[in-house]
Homo-oligomer: A and B are copies of this chain.
Amino acid sequence: MTGPRLTPLAASLPAAVPFVGPEAQERTLGHPFAARLGANESVFGPSPRAIAAMQAAVAEIWMYGDPEAHDLRHALAAHHGCAPANIMIGEGIDGMLGYLVRLLVEQSDAVVTSDGAYPTFNYHVTGFGGVLHKVPYAGDHEDPAALMARAAEVDAKLVYLANPDNPMGSHHGGAAIAAALDSLPDGTLLVLDEAYIDLAPEGTAAPVSPDDPRVIRMRTFSKGYGMAGARVGYAIGAAPLIDAFNKVRNHFGMNRAALAGALAALEDQDWMAHVRREVTRARDEIARIARDNGLAPLPSATNFVTVDCGGDGALARRVLEGLVARGVFVRMPFVAPQNRCIRISCGTADQLALLAGALPDALRDARAATKS
């Protein structure tokens, strides 16, 4: 018997998981993490108004969500000073990236990103048969000039740039991103992932018109807005490209309560200001803990701090494993030289006290294992 016949492309794909969830690690460990500081979630949570809106909407969960997400789309347009036709809402940036890649990339199409940048984007490109071309980071920054040059060289359909960057936490000023567009090849679309923009310094958002057909920007309610588990992301871009999502998206894919929560979260910018203060405080504390242990925290424009462990990837991996074994969930970059670091999400004072307690022992063990 033949069985189901996967497409040649699907058959060739690994059953890849871009990230193993902390829950899977907890099941392996046999107990929950004491501090969940690995997925850049916002432990400070969403606005209480967003929580209230979601709890109220749960009572109406027997109804499908509005497939046009009309109210949230219009509110986002007002927030960004653009037209609703410039906004498309989807199942997190992950979901939006999947739809975007599907629209533009078929087998053998060239796509450019940085070596060590967001793996879920790569997952989608590979998943649709695209060919990834990677340029190195420049120090701990993504390198816009190198990205644009490579895009021209390989005639890329997409070039991916995260600003601020994950996993390094670095950023470019928005003006530099806008200037880089001068070198964007004709026919290449810049995917500007601004997941962490709400936590970045003033001026980090690129001054690019929503109608500029060369750029699509990705935003999310998962980071600053603290609603990672709700799955609400959106794209800002020129109307023809935004409308193209309607060709392929899961029109009824959005959770009804999540839509209501995102709307309430957007309307509570005081809460976002509160989150920014908490994130700043936590970044400073993580940096202090790192320095107290002789490690070098990198500057961060995000809700996490990437910490240079002062060795190679193997050392950083051991430090990470030591923290995980002590109940502190963190992650690390996947490739060299960024993988000399671990990546620690902003936490509460209590959680960071657990980090401060665990790090010296994790470091000591990691260094001992490295010497032996």
Residues of A within 8 A of B (CB): 1-10, 13-21, 23-24, 27, 36, 39, 41-46, 51, 54-55, 57-68, 70, 91-92, 94-95, 98, 102-106, 109, 120, 127, 157, 186-187, 189, 213-214, 216, 222, 226-231, 238, 240-241, 243-244, 246-248, 250-258, 261
B residues in contact with A127, CB < 8 Å: 247-248
Check A91 against B257 for contact (C-beta < 8 Å): no
Most buried by B among A4, A14, A240: A4
Given A67-B21, A104-B10, A246-B15, also A229-B213 (CB < 8 A): no
Closest 5 CB pairs of A and B: A229-B256, A2-B187, A15-B246, A23-B66, A13-B247
Q: Which of B43, B60, B247 sits near A229, CB closer than 8 Å?
A: B60
Check B247 against A16 for contact (C-beta < 8 Å): yes
Q: Which of B24, B46, B61, B250 sits near A98, CB closer than 8 Å?
A: B250
Given A4-B241, A68-B24, A127-B248, also A62-B228 (CB < 8 A): yes
Q: Which of B92, B186, B247, B251 sits near A1, CB closer than 8 Å?
A: B186
B residues in contact with A257, CB < 8 Å: 54, 58, 229-230, 255, 257
